[in-house]
Amino acid sequence: MNIILAQQNYHIGNFEANTAKIIAAIQDAERQGADLVVFSELCVCGYPPRDFLEFEDFIAKCYAAIDEIKAYSKNIGVLVGAPHRNPLREGKDLFNAAWLLHEGEVKQVVHKTLLPTYDVFDEHRYFEPGYEWKVVPFKGKKLAVTVCEDIWNLGDNPLYRVCPMDELIGQQPDVMINLSASPFDYDHDDSRKEIIRANVRKYRIPMYYCNTVGSQTEIVFDGGSMIIDAQGNIVQQLPFFEEAMGGADLDTLAKAGEGPVAPFSGTSDIIALEFEHNIHRIKEALILGIRDYFGKMGFKQAILGSSGGIDSAVTLALAVEALGKENVRAVLMPSPYSTEHSVDDAVALSKNLDNPYDIIRINDIYESFLRTLEPYFKGLPFNVAEENTQSRIRGNLLMGLANKFGYILLNTSNKSELSTGYGTLYGDMAGGLAVLGDLYKMQVYALARHINREREIIPANIIEKAPSAELRPNQKDSDSLPDYAVLDRILYQYIERRQGPREIVAQGFDAALVARTLRMVNNNEYKRNQFCPIIRVSSKAFGVGRRVPIVGKYLS
């Protein structure tokens, strides 16, 4: 039996485009002589559809798409993901399901059992968990079909009380097939490989694993679909961050089942932040995140503030690669405290990238603001109010240009700044999409070096100089924040690994510094709550995947 995986990029709610893409892949697989073609989780409607699932019209369109697709299954089996209505009154109205289509009919529907409700996932909000487990007969073979999370309940501390494959294996299936929508983070590919191999190790049969690819606002899906033989060897892995198809003959894979199984090393977990870790994959994820956000929303051009600093430089370089140099406009907005070398660096960057740029000096606007506010500031000393005024002027200018010409403003804040509140609401925190908001400052530097690996795109001075907001004379980030190399490691332990102050101090960090850092994080939740979507590349990004109280007292 020849089984082909179709790794595709879907658009949530774009039924016409998704259906056409699926049908084209079915026809392609049929031309290749496939017996069965496998698509990813909820491919018909796109993942995650979230509250669209609460609209009956949305579900009706899913069913209409299935009807259209099944007409192309006369000579080939098709496994697609789509919602399935619950026939019982009890429980949620929908199942997250895999549909087997063949001979122009719906042959069987398999319901997802394990519904993730953590981080970016909220499937218990919409779906009823599956409670029946039956292999799918197809052309003389028994298929153990599961959906994404269904294969992840292995290990010493399982999250769920049931494991679908434990129920299915007693029916002597020939193969495991998993329809998945597994998001990217810079440590997840290793975990994914190991969990798939752990299933093969336990059940001793091959697995076809089909993952989706593409970005849905903040979540990036990296693809990397796999075919694993019964010994746990990766027979084929599809590319990351691009659409692809690939297959293998099941009988060939199954013959390997009598030999030794490749060892399972456990799911990986980065204990300490490694600034260079998977930086090439991070770059690919961010470029896809930008490209899909603009493409799926129908946007064409981006604008951003270019300061001569590392964050705006990396954002600009990524945007140019994602959208094309002619579609990214950089605006330099020096204030009285901006150094000329920063302006020169920003100009040199745009010349290297060959993107359009403008220089709008804000000195006069800033002085006008100060004159207007002077009677109300009552002679109080210069402080953060005057600093933030400059940032908000820049935000207003960028948004004015964006409104006039239809640009989308790219935000350039990094995760270190967002964590500690080192940013200005309605100023440098403005934007439609945050490109670097899930990268710590030292990771941004690592990304800059990676961008420059073949030629100097980002001027060396931008990478080498001390970071500064340049909102007051001789200002440095280190005036307000701990050294980034230390700060980022503390933040990683608290945010990604959910370690408390006692555990972090036990790792050798200064107790007072840890207390100060965690206090900054918790006290600035109100700022992050007003922030734009962030492209997610870590296991715990700010946004939909991290929900903490704004007014909580804990560690604040």
The reply to whether 148 belongs to the active site is yes
Catalytic site residue from 148, 163, 210, 532: 148
Q: Residue 12's CB: how many other CB atoms inside 10 A?
A: 17
Q: Which residue has the tokens 């870790």?
A: 277
Strand partners, 330: 304, 357
Annotated catalytic residue, options 30, 41, 149, 284: 41
CA–CA distance from 501 to each of 49, 83, 497, 549 (Å)? 37, 43, 12, 18
**163 part of the active site:** no
CA distance 95 to 217: 24
CB-based contact 93:113 (threshold 8 Å):
no
DSSP state, residue 298: T
Question: Which of these is catalytic: 112, 296, 441, 540?
Answer: 112
Residue 221 is classified by DSSP as E
Helix, strand, coil percent values for the chain (each to nearest 5): 40, 20, 40
Helix axes 441-451, 484-495, angle to 10 degrees: 110
Residue 41 annotated as catalytic: yes
Q: Do 120 and 50 touch, CB atoms closer than 8 A? A: no
Interstrand relation of 226-228 and 433-434 (parallel, antiparallel or unpaired)? unpaired
Nearest to 303 by CA among 401, 395, 227, 207: 401
Candidates 550, 521, 526; CA nearest to 440 is: 521
Neighbours of 159 (CB within 10 A): 12
Active-site residue list:
41, 112, 148
